[in-house]
């Protein structure tokens, strides 16, 4: 998102304003130690919604009444601010056009302060138009109070735009706030939103997909339940229909069971015509034949059941024998020693070894047998599997026998009713009524409407999947990573990486946020294993420049602000500059050179200055090239000790400092300074 910081400042307790002005492109704030350079990145972070005030304690925090940032987001000017005494609130005020002269203590009217959470949501709306990022409503239901998933926050942006002093050359960390796993996971998860790969419709469609999928599964389960219910009723229709035909005295079926089951309602209409008194065959023995057939079937099933029961008893016996055998084998052990005396002839006193040799052979045989027994494969599992199958068959036969017995009982009951001089047609009507009840039940379990609902939902699901496929988030993230890797190869080639890492071949993934150097042998060397502060610094700078180049290429599709802070990147070359109290940078360089001689440090100060000049040159070239290509450049703000550098592209270093040199003053200064 095209974003520009106009001004970062402090209103002190006397009402005096201490502003720092910035322009587009590369900005440099240079100065000696303890002047408030590093406080600028912390003031921005605090005004940008941080729940914690990390501005370094000292003159600034003692003096400050208001911290503020004036910025432009997509050509909309605004001022955001914090009052350190009211940490739970933040200030937001839109302006037609920012004018630094308008800023004073009275400008920060209490009416523009709002609770911090509402402030962050309001500010987020200038970068993102999204309210609900749940892909699963089921997951939401499992959260406490049915809470929505955490929506993207402006706080996630800070991971892409802030490189603090302790981070810019860190070998263990790349991104601000990633030391907290929850915040890291949120940034990674929300990146697809920041890059414009998904929008609000994507999440609503994902929720709808889950809902429709759940409805399809529910209806299919209902259909399966109906099917099982219908099958059970169908099993009952056959016997009732056969009994009805037998009572009517029909030798042949006027309407087959198959046709009755296929169209239950139509079958009822036809049976109303067929089952009438005029069509009863009183001389038919159909009922007797059916009765005899049922009894024969029952006898046959009974025989089969007895056979299975005997089989089950036999398998049980084998299992018991197997268990007993295993127990005995465990207790069996072969003799380790054989004690036997040699036989001696009582006459000639000659010893015979025949018995000893036989004993040894016996011992070998016993050892072999015991070994075979110990290694014998148990059969219990196979017996149990066979028993399980037999028992299932017994259950099936048992149900079939019960059904046959019920049918036989029904026939006997009907014959008894006739013996009691009840009307045959009355029995037929009762049987017909029983059949129609079953057919009505089949109609209730009819899946025609259910099937139509499932088809409609599946079509809806296909349409949703087709629309979701157009987002192709996975491919989008891979493509984004490839672009950033391409940019890193070009940007990194201009930095002073160690020889062993040239040509630098950095790879980054938007799916894991890992960064590594890939060797020609395809070995991945992660930042923590690269060694040298310069390598760590240039890896950070290369990655973040490549990221922002890609963000700028995306234009308004990308929600991440086009701002980048580097706080004291040259500390890897001049670690002693944190004690820089000199009136000029040249004086500090001289002190550094003398100190290196005293400590016998071989590295020449001028060589390090060349590396620093190259760093700032590349930052300047980067901004100018993106300005030409995209019409705007990420705004880069560097706070450092370095000064009076000569840039390779001819840009004046003084134009980058633009009055922000703090050698004789600091961020908080009085007119006497």
The CATH number of the domain holding residue 644 is: 3.40.50.300
220 is a domain residue:
no
Same domain, 82 and 184: yes
In the chain, the percentage of residues whose pLDDT exceeds 90 is 52
564 is a domain residue:
yes
638-663-564 Cα angle (round to 5): 10
Please report which confidence band the pLDDT of residue 613 belongs to, taking 50, 70 and 90 as the band edges. Answer: very high
Q: Compute CA distances 203 → 151, 194, 198, 442, whole Å.
A: 11, 14, 8, 42
Same domain, 48 and 169: yes
Same domain, 508 and 426: no
Torsion over CA: 483, 484, 489, 490 (sign)? positive
**Which tops the pLDDT comparison, 240 or 17?**
17
Look at residues 479, 510, 490 and name the one whose alpha carbon lies nearest to residue 625. Answer: 490
Residue 458, pLDDT above cutoff 80: yes
- Once rounded to an integer, what is the mean pLDDT over residues 592-612? 79
Per mean pLDDT, which range of 282-286, 453-457, 460-464 is the poorest? 282-286
Same domain, 477 and 362: no
504 is a domain residue:
yes
Q: Which pLDDT does position 258 carry in this prediction?
A: 79
Look at residues 26, 170, 178 and name the one whose alpha carbon lies nearest to residue 539. Answer: 170
Same domain, 532 and 391: no
- Give a three-class secondary structure readout of 191-210: HHHHCCCCCHHHHHHHHHHH
Q: Which pLDDT does position 319 carry in this prediction?
A: 83
Residue 8, pLDDT above cutoff 60: yes
Please report which confidence band the pLDDT of residue 338 belongs to, taking 50, 70 and 90 as the band edges. Answer: low
96 is a domain residue:
yes
164-168-170 Cα angle (round to 5): 115
Same domain, 397 and 286: yes
User: What is the secondary structure of 396-443 as a DSSP string?
Assistant: HHHHHHHHHHHHHHHHHHHHHHHHTT--HHHHHHHHHHHHHHHHHHHH
Q: Which pLDDT does position 572 carry in this prediction?
A: 87
**Length reported for the chain:** 673
For residue 665, what is the DSSP state? -
Burial group, residue 536, by CB count within 10 angstroms (0-12, 13-18, 19+): buried
Same domain, 500 and 415: no
Using one digit for the tens of pLDDT, what is the confidence trace for 543-594? 999 999 999 999 999 999 999 999 999 988 887 666 767 777 787 778 777 7
Local structure of 306: helix, strand or coil: helix
What is the average pLDDT score of the chain?
86
572-613-45 Cα angle (round to 5): 60
Using one digit for the tens of pLDDT, what is the confidence trace for 379-389? 677 888 888 88
Same domain, 387 and 516: no
209 is a domain residue:
no
Residue 376, pLDDT above cutoff 80: no
Residue 46, pLDDT above cutoff 90: yes
CB 92 within 8 Å of CB 70: no
Please report which confidence band the pLDDT of residue 673 belongs to, taking 50, 70 and 90 as the band edges. Answer: very low
Same domain, 513 and 612: yes
- Once rounded to an integer, what is the mean pLDDT over residues 200-227? 88
Using one digit for the tens of pLDDT, what is the confidence trace for 143-166? 665 666 678 889 999 999 999 999
Domain membership of residue 561 as a residue range: 3-130+141-195+473-662
Look at residues 492, 593, 588 and name the one whose alpha carbon lies nearest to residue 549. Answer: 492
Same domain, 486 and 570: yes
311 is a domain residue:
yes
Residue at a domain's end among 448, 482, 512: 448
Residue at a domain's end among 433, 448, 463: 448
Residue 78, pLDDT above cutoff 80: yes
Residue at a domain's end among 397, 432, 448: 448
Residue 374, pLDDT above cutoff 60: no
187 is a domain residue:
yes
**Which tops the pLDDT comparison, 343 or 100?**
100
Residue 370, pLDDT above cutoff 60: no
Same domain, 9 and 151: yes
Same domain, 435 and 488: no
- Euclidean distance between CA atoms 652 and 650, whole angstroms: 6
- Euclidean distance between CA atoms 398 and 400, whole angstroms: 5
Q: Which pLDDT does position 163 carry in this prediction?
A: 96
* Structure token digits, residue 296: 């024969």
Q: Which residues are paired to 80 by β-bridges?
A: 69, 92
673 is a domain residue:
no
Per mean pLDDT, which range of 225-239, 300-314, 462-476, 537-551 is the poorest? 225-239
User: What is the secondary structure of 440-462 as a DSSP string?
Assistant: HHHHHT--HHHHHHHHHHHHHHH
Torsion over CA: 239, 241, 242, 246 (sign)? positive
Structural domains of the chain, count: 2
- Other beta carbons within 10 Å of 662: 21
CB 98 within 8 Å of CB 6: yes
């Amino acid at each position: 998102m095209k974003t520009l910081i106009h001004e970062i400042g402090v209103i002190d307790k006397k009402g005096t304003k201490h502003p720092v002005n910035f322009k587009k492109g590369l900005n440099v704030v240079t100065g000696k130690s303890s002047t408030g350079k590093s406080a600028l990145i912390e003031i921005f972070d605090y005004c940008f919604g941080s729940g914690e005030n990390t501005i370094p304690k000292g003159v600034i925090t003692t003096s400050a009444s208001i911290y503020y940032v004036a910025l432009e987001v997509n050509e909309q000017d605004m001022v955001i601010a914090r009052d350190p005494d009211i940490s739970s609130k933040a200030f937001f005020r839109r302006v037609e056009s920012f004018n630094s002269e308008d800023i004073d203590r009275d400008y920060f009217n209490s009416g523009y302060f709002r609770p911090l959470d509402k402030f962050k949501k309001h500010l987020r709306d200038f970068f993102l138009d999204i309210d609900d990022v749940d892909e699963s409503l089921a997951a939401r239901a499992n959260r406490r109070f049915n809470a929505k998933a955490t929506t993207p926050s402006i706080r996630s942006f800070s991971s892409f735009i802030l490189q603090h002093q302790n981070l810019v050359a860190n070998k263990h960390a790349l991104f601000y706030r990633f030391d907290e796993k929850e915040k890291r996971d949120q940034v990674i998860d929300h990146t697809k939103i920041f890059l414009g790969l998904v929008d609000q419709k994507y999440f609503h469609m994902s929720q709808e997909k889950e809902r429709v999928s759940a409805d399809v599964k529910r209806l299919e389960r209902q259909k399966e339940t109906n099917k099982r219910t219908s099958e059970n009723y169908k099993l009952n229709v056959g016997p009732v229909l056969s009994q009805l035909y037998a009572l009517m005295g029909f030798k042949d079926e006027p309407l087959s069971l198959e046709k009755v089951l296929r169209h239950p309602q139509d079958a009822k209409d036809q049976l109303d015509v067929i089952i009438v008194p005029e069509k009863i065959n009183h001389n038919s023995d159909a009922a007797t034949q059916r009765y005899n057939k049922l009894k024969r079937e029952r006898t046959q099933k009974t025989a089969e059941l007895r056979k299975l029961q005997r089989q089950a008893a036999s398998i049980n016996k084998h299992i018991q024998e197997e268990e007993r055998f295993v127990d005995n084998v465990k207790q069996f052990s072969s003799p380790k020693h054989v004690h036997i005396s040699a036989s001696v002839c009582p006459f000639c006193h000659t010893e015979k070894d025949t018995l000893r040799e036989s004993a040894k052979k016996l011992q070998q045989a016993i050892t072999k047998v015991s070994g075979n027994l110990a290694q014998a494969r148990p059969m219990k599992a196979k017996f149990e599997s066979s028993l399980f199958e037999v028992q299932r068959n017994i259950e099936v036969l048992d149900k079939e026998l019960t059904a046959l017995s019920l049918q036989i009982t029904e026939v006997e009951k009907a014959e008894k009713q006739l013996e009691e001089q009840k009307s045959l047609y009355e029995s037929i009507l009762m049987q017909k009524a029983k059949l129609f009840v079953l057919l009505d039940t089949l109609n209730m379990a009819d899946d025609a409407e259910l099937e139509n609902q499932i088809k409609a939902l599946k079509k809806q699901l296909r349409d949703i999947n087709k629309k979701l496929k157009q987002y192709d988030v996975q491919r989008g993230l891979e493509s984004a990573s490839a672009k950033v890797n391409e940019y890193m190869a070009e940007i990194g080639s201009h930095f002073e990486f160690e020889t062993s890492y040239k040509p630098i071949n950095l790879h980054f993934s938007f799916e894991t946020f890992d960064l590594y150097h890939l060797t020609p042998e395809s070995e991945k060397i992660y930042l923590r294993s690269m060694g040298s502060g310069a390598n760590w610094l240039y890896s950070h700078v290369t990655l973040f420049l490549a990221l922002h180049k890609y963000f700028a290429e995306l234009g308004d599709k990308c929600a991440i602000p086009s701002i980048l802070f580097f706080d004291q990147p040259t500390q890897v070359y001049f670690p002693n500059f944190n004690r820089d109290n000199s009136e000029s940078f040249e004086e500090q360089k001289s002190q550094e050179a003398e100190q290196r001689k005293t400590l016998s440090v071989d590295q020449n100060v001028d060589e390090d200055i060349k590396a620093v000049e190259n760093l700032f040159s590349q930052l300047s070239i980067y901004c100018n090239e993106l300005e030409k290509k995209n019409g705007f450049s990420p705004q880069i703000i560097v706070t450092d000790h370095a000064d009076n550098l000569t840039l390779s592209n001819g840009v004046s270093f003084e134009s980058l400092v633009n009055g922000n040199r703090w050698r004789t003053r600091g961020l908080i200064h009085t007119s006497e300074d």
